[in-house]
Chains A and B, each alone.
Chain A
Amino acid sequence: MTLTRAKVLAAAATVLMGTTALVQAQERGGVMTFGRYADSLFLDPVLNDANVDIWILSNMYDTLLLPTADGQSVEAGLATDWSVSDDGTVVTLTLRDGITFSDGSPITTEDVIWSLDRARNPDNGIWNFLLSAVSEVTAPDDTTIEIQLSQPDPAILPALSVFNTAILPKDAFEAMPGETDLEKATAFAENPIGSGPFVLESWDRGSTLKLVKNEHYWADGEDGEKLPYLDGVTFEIIPDDATRILRLQSGEIDGAELIPFARVAELEADPNIDMELFPSTRVADIILNVRPELDGEANPLSDEKVRQAMNYATNKDAIIQVVTFGVGTPTSSYMSSTTPLHTGDGAVFPYDLEQAQRLMSESEYPDGFSASILTLAGNQDELGIATALQQMWSQIGIDLEIEQVDNATRTEQYRNGTFQMRAGAWTNDIADPSQITSYFAYSPTIDALHSGWKSEEVDSLFEASQSEMDEETRAEQYARIQEIYNQTGPIILLYETPYPVALQQNVKGFYQIPLGNNIFRETYLETE
């Protein structure tokens, strides 16, 4: 356990220092093969919907700004300079000199305006909310972009580093066959042109997806020549965890994502494997439906004391041991500790069975009650959590029934607000606390995780924070939101976990940022 903790810190340190800290000389050439658990679905930055797309898109499509390796702020991308006006309503960016798309055609302000307009069109995809404050995008001259905002937006700069604001070639896209944006995007995504470090070469769905080096990429490597170091990246789809690891151990692939926690220690002990645990924004929790009545009956979970008792009765360390094999850490807030403006230190409700029993006896349900929890069928982590909770909560008189269902079934009950409890997990898509808070706590978005929970104070604090440009005031607002939500919110706080990625020892400079993006632009293969 201490060993893995140390490893997390070490990985965090490596990422924080960036790849510049590496002493070895970067080598060029070679193709890296990376084993993924599932294939991508649709490689359009605006119309995609799933992590399997999001987490590799940035290798093909570049954005104006880039997320930093620690996922906390932004750095220069296609834009070299950026500034926000004092009143927070105008963002001015300067385009990098001489940048081109992967087909060699220049990236113009026209492409930028068109791409951002497409990304913020409410009829396109599900990510347009990230740019909802934008009222107009203009280009005063050939290298300057001005983004007008209808109200100040403290998250606008991180938004310009999110995948959906990638810059695409307007002319090439519009020349595609088809009537609608979707039809054109479908044709375009077969042979996409972007400006990221790699270009799509071929794609056998369900099997392999090959990327090759973009010869026109703008960034310089440590050796003074253009990035990327690799000639290409090949993604192989290997859905079975055990096979993915076996393939890595036999040297047929160079890296494998989503290693089950049960096998992290084993791979750390393997001298041929570099077991990485990249800091992430992933949090695991239990979502409780807190509506006063469910199915016409009084709902025990609406009682704040019951929820606190359940939180105290949850032995986080035991769950972390059983489910994550010591890799996780207890969450100190509903948002991960890697999220900007996170507050808290240590578990909010340290395990305390007596306190839990006392709270329970003070509640309206001193004799306990029975309840059911929805877990994703086939997901060992969620099943493990639920099985452990079943034991732990029986100590405070709660008889927990585990119901394993498939994702779509659960989502339906969740969205209809008819579920009782469910296991949940969350990963941020933007380096800002507003996305997770909007979903978790701000009731107008989705009724606070469809739980029916509502706090007037949290709602108004969140609304104020959305246009608050003063960093300190915004931090105070978030501190208060977290305080209220963590103490009285509709969730059982569990743990946060890093991204477990296993690599061959000769793979250097690969990292996954806390938002999940796999970054191959500075990756290289060392030859002995």
Chain B
Amino acid sequence: MIVAAFPQFFAPYDPLAMDYVNLLAPPSAAHPFGTDNFGRDVLSRVLHAYTIDMQIALFATLFPFLFGTTVGAIVGYVGGATEAMFGRVVDAVITFPFLVLVIAIVSVLGPGLMNMYIAIGVVGWVFYARIVAAEVKVQKRLDYADAGRAMGYTHARIIFRHLLPNAITPAVVYWMTDMALAILLGSSLGYLGLGAQPPAAEWGVQIADGKNFMATAWWISVFPGIAIVITGLGFSLLGDGLAELLRGRR
């Protein structure tokens, strides 16, 4: 992790430097992860991608998580007409094909990571909102919520101090999964022709770039793949740990 956080000190090469003599070189002492089809050092690219992929994982999911849980908690607590209206919004957002939306946003606002976050955010929050709303609805029927009302707490306090901490666990667990999925989105969109900006190294795009070489130069896509698995495992352990922590508060 430390190595990856400061790629400039550890990466053996410039991740963008091309070497037309050493195209598709297999892993060796000089290039431990081999080189890609431009002769770029795969190890350096995997290390340099860490920062950008962390950004993607965080920024693509943070807003949906915060906004979605808040909306979900309120809607689940208030219920009634608000909930019915919310239901329509959720339906509309989630039934609208994601790809149409992404292509529209990227075409109109231009390509780039920021616009990718916007596209993901517009849809992503719904997942959190719906999960939390369902949980809150269950929680508010339980005794302790009634107790809160009896004691004359404000709605806001009941929602955010009492209900949400208990209802948020599935959202947190999903959030951590979502982070891994966000990193992969780069490769999916790249496959469909909606990639991030080259030549910046990014794991998802690196895997997509290596697709033509799966048989002849597996190292182009396998090493970034391993990086995603390790990072994803980290997120998932973090998520489970957070879940335990939240439950412990009860």
Contact = CB atoms under 8 A, between A and B. Distances in A.
Interface string B204-234: 0000010111111000000000000000000
Contacts of A318: 20
Given A377-B194, A402-B199, 19 more contacts: A242-B214, A260-B212, A262-B212, A262-B213, A321-B20, A321-B23, A322-B38, A376-B193, A377-B193, A378-B190, A378-B192, A387-B38, A387-B199, A388-B18, A388-B38, A403-B110, A404-B194, A405-B111, A406-B103
Interface residues of A, number: 28
A322 B212 contact: no
A402 B197 contact: yes
Using C-beta atoms within 8 Å of the partner chain, give the interface range for chain B.
20 to 34
Contacts of B37: 262, 322, 384
Interface of A: 241-242, 260, 262-263, 266, 315, 318, 321-322, 376-380, 383-384, 386-388, 390-391, 402-406, 409
A377 B192 CA distance: 8
B82 interface: no
A266 B216 contact: yes
Contact of A241 (B111, B190, B198, B212): B212
A403 B198 contact: no
A322 B23 contact: yes
B198 A263 contact: no
A263 B23 CA distance: 14
Contacts of A263: 212, 216
27 contacts: A262-B213, A318-B20, A322-B18, A322-B20, A322-B23, A376-B193, A377-B193, A378-B190, A378-B193, A378-B195, A379-B193, A380-B209, A380-B212, A384-B37, A386-B198, A387-B38, A387-B198, A388-B18, A402-B197, A402-B198, A403-B110, A403-B197, A404-B194, A404-B195, A404-B198, A405-B111, A406-B194
B191 interface: yes
Contacts of A376: 193
Nearest to B215: A266
A391 B199 CA distance: 10
B34 to A, nearest CB: 15
B203 to A, nearest CB: 17
Nearest to A392: B18
Contacts of A387: 38, 198-199
B8 interface: no
Interface in B136-155: none
Contacts of A406: 103, 107, 193-194
A378 B192 CA distance: 6
A387 B209 CA distance: 13
A410 to B, nearest CB: 10
A377 to B, nearest CB: 4
A376 B190 CA distance: 11
B186 to A, nearest CB: 12
B195 to A, nearest CB: 6
A384 B23 CA distance: 13
Contacts of A315: 20
Interface in B24-45: 37-38
Nearest to B193: A378
Contacts of B209: 380
Given A260-B212, A322-B37, A391 B195 contact: no
